[in-house]
Amino acid sequence: MTSAPLLTARRLSVTGVVQGVGFRPFVHRLAVRLGVAGWVRNVAGTVEIHLEGSAAQCDAFAAALTREAPPLARLHAVTAADTGVEGAAGFTIAESADADTLRPVPPDVAICAQCERELFDPHNRRYRHPFITCTDCGPRYTIIDALPYDRGRTSMKVFGLCARCATEYAASDDRRFHAETVACPDCGPRVWFEGADGEGSADGDTAILLAATALRMGAVVGVRGLGGFHLAADATNDAAVRRLRLRKHRDAKPLAVMVRTLDQARAVAHVSKREAEALTSSARPIVLLRPRDPSPLAPSLAPRLDRVGLMLAYTPLHHLLLEAAERPLVMTSGNVSDEPIAIGLEEGRARLRPLVDAFLMHDRDILSRCDDSVLRVAGAHDILLRRARGHAPAPLALPVPAPQPLVAVGPHLKNTFTLAREGAAFVSPHIGDLDGLEALEHWQQAYRRYQALFRVAPAVAVRDLHPGYLSTRIAEELGLSRVIAVQHHHAHVAAVAAEHGVTSRVVGLAYDGTGYGDDGHTWGAEVLLADLSGYQRVAQLRYVPLPGGDAAAREPWRVALGYESQAGWQSEAFALAYHGVSHTLRSGVQQQVAHGVNAPLASSMGRLFDAAAAVLGVRRHASFEGQAAMELEALAGEQSAPPLPFPTIEADGRLHLDPVPLLTALGEGRRHGVDVGLLAARFHESLVEASVDLARLIAGSFGIDTVVLSGGTFQNARLLTRVARRLTEARLRVLTARTLGPNDGAISYGQAAVASWLLSHE
């Protein structure tokens, strides 16, 4: 006698990045292949799978599930439990259950290799279709209006599927099975070319050809892309690049360049293995690379810097445009100066018309603004300089769950905000500096969108300690019952510790340009003994008066002058800093310092770099934050050099690093004709040496084994890699920023981590 194999029913629950990545279609194909019945559905950020079949079939299914998961899926946990048999017939994809819980929205994904092949395959029906996608690739966050993720809740909803696309969408063995963004030339979005005056238009391939031709002739073209408009120009044409700079009011900040393929990237820059991985990753960030010498790229792309920002085409539209242009293209945010990037059709026309000669437009609406992410590879470290497209809005874990939903509004510069609910932190993409009405509106739009997408209704706001920041006003005006203030550098250290899940006390180095200190002074070179509950400031850079306050950040010679006041005013070593500064202005500023008028005290590492650059005669005026530091790093290169004197003084129960002897030695060296690159290297080594000594000393005296490196100054690859290596050699555990960058983009997450701890312990 034989009996039918016993029918079992099993319920699998899968968490991780499993929505919007073609996971349910994959589950369906797998079930059909293995002959199990049941269903799959999205429930509140997890995927629930009901299986009915023999025990062996269910086991095989579970094994294949993790082994064969689609490339973009990341499975964090799979749980399985036996359940009652429902008598399922076949395998179905069930409607999404719309529960009010955490639901990750997937980040946008660069065009996949298969779609890229089809794009250039004349026999494919999507040949040269600028919106080709599949379940493995395409827009997500920027086009999703609400969850669960399906076409009806995206800006693709206005494009009804044609019969052939509908067939692919419904066929479980097709790569586009349940691909919510599926489209083709018959039913998908359109591209067109229009003059800056709105006149003249052509669509399809002709539009792309016209845009490419305009670019080749030196025009600036506004290109509506994935997360907003880009301003495009021929990256090999210096006149075109300079014209773009002039119109964008961006005189020196580096401009990013897009090429189509990795080989093309290699033709213009040196690309290491790790850098190649980053360039071709599905996030496709801008990667800072060392340009080839000689370089076909325009010199004014990144003046006086040793890196150029390069990215690969990440949408089919970019591929087609670059193929037609046959050269690298500048692709920089479509905005004036540091305003938010334009996204809407009318908005783009209105704001960018004065900047461009023509537009390459499309009619797939962008619902969320998202800039390009920027990455730098430094030895074993990936330094994320800007976290946006391809990363946001993937959640980060909080080491201590938020007992109440909260919003951390972030800092003043390089702002992001963070929504936290339970153990998940949703960090917004890069928003930018919170100056002006446009930035405020952008912040509020992004905040509303995040609230809706993640269904977080904050009860608590978290803000910076600075009483005067716009972010502080935003936090106070949200009307929440409670507002918690977190010190800027505490947030820096907390952010790095928290992303590593570390809640114990650490020695935290927080080096950056500026942050409001709890003594009312400007901080920016702090060594904190810190955990999420609080901090103690154990060491700092000696305070210096910054004549003119904010003006000092744009005029490094003023910082040098502040330091010269501490050297007794007689120092010939500082002379180069004032080259080109009028005698009247200089003596006026001297008076300012002498009488303490508008000369706030600061302990800023960013300003120390400025002072060093001024004393070395490298830079007396800065057009963007960090410019002097980037140039000094470029000058230093990799050459080894002994440190200069950088002594520590004990006062007020703290250690104070005194940079006056260091700056004096730099100026003296320069006066005696020492190579400026060597002096820049010696400056870096002095910071490395002092930082390592301080961290070791403090870790030793307090019995701590972990050191956190945080703050924008650690975007400096030379400083980061050397400090990290030396501390590791000293058997200390070194934590650096990974998922978020070291700069102020991480502040909101640090604020959220601190506030969650505080709320959980009261």
Binding string, 178-207, against Zn ion, x = CB under 5 A? Answer: ------x-xx--------------------
| Closest C-alpha to 683, from 659, 705, 706 | 659
Q: What is the Cβ-side half-sphere exposure of residue 245, based on CA atoms within 13 angstroms?
A: 21
Partner that binds at residue 539, options Fe ion, Zn ion, none, CB closer than 5 to 8 Å by kind: none
Radius of gyration (C-alpha) of the chain in whole angstroms: 28
Q: Which residues pair with 483 in a beta bridge?
A: 461
Q: Taking CB under 5 A as the rule, does residue 137 contact Zn ion?
A: yes
DSSP-assigned letter for residue 97: B
H-helix segments, 301-408: 316-325, 345-352
Q: How far apart are CA 343 and CA 349, in angstroms?
A: 10
Binding test (CB under 5 A) with Zn ion, winner from 18, 134, 493, 687: 134
**339 is a site residue for Fe ion (CB under 5 A):** no
In the complex, what is the shortest distance from the CB of residue 134 to Zn ion, in angstroms, rounded to a whole number? 3
Choose, by CB under 5 A, the member of 88, 99, 162, 336 that binds Zn ion.
Answer: 162
Closest of 257, 266, 378 to residue 310, by C-alpha: 257
Nearer to Zn ion, 112 or 302 (CB): 112
Nearer to Zn ion by C-beta: 52 or 136? Answer: 136
Calculate helix-pair angle for 605-615, 556-566, nearest 10 degrees. Answer: 90
Quickly list DSSP for 141-206: GGGB-SSS-SGGGBTTTTSPPPHHHHHHHH-TTSTTTT-TT---TTTS--EEEEETTS--EEEHHH
Q: Does 660 bind Zn ion (CB under 5 A)?
A: no
**Could you tell me which stretch among 158-166, 424-432, 596-604, 711-719 binds Zn ion (CB under 5 A)?**
158-166
Asked if residue 226 binds Zn ion (CB under 5 A), the reply is no
Size of the residue set binding Zn ion (CB under 5 A): 10
Helix (H/G/I), strand (E/B), else coil: 351: helix
Q: Which amino acid is at 154?
A: T
Q: Of 195 and 549, which has the nearer Cβ to Fe ion?
A: 549
Q: Choose among 743, 739, 740, 737: nearest CA to 724.
A: 737
Residue 15 beta carbon to Zn ion: minimum distance, rounded to whole angstroms: 24
Does the protein bind Fe ion through residue 372 (CB under 5 A)?
no
Token output for 6: 């016993």
Look at residue 744 and give the partner it binds from Fe ion, Zn ion, none, a contact being a CB closer than 5 to 8 Å depending on partner kind: Fe ion
The answer to whether 406 touches 481, Cβ cutoff 8 Å, is no
Give min distance, CB of 400 to Fe ion, in A.
22
Q: Which of 194, 625, 685, 744 binds Fe ion (CB under 5 A)?
A: 744
DSSP 407-444: EE---SSSB--EEEEEEEEEEPP--B---HHHHHHHHH
- What angle do the packed helices 627-636 and 605-615 form, to 10 degrees? 60
Please identify, using beta-carbon distances, which residue of 138 and 741 lies nearer to Fe ion. Answer: 741
Compute the least distance from the CB of residue 516 to Fe ion, in Å: 10
Q: Which of 9, 156, 165, 289 binds Zn ion (CB under 5 A)?
A: 165
Q: Which does 480 bind (CB under 5 to 8 A by kind): Fe ion, Zn ion, none?
A: none
Specify the stretch interacting with Zn ion by CB under 5 A; choose among 176-184, 267-275, 411-419, 733-741.
Answer: 176-184
String marking each residue 509-528 x if it binds Fe ion according to CB under 5 A: ---x----------------
**Three-class SS state of 67:** helix
Of Zn ion, Fe ion, none, which one sits near residue 187, judging by CB under 5 to 8 A according to partner kind? Answer: Zn ion
121 contributes a contact to Zn ion by CB under 5 A: no
Under rule CB under 5 A, residue 737 binds Zn ion: no
Please report whether residue 499 would count as binding Fe ion according to CB under 5 A. Answer: no
Which residues make up the interface to Zn ion (CB under 5 A)? 112, 115, 134, 136-137, 162, 165, 184, 186-187
Which residues make up the interface to Fe ion (CB under 5 A)? 512, 744
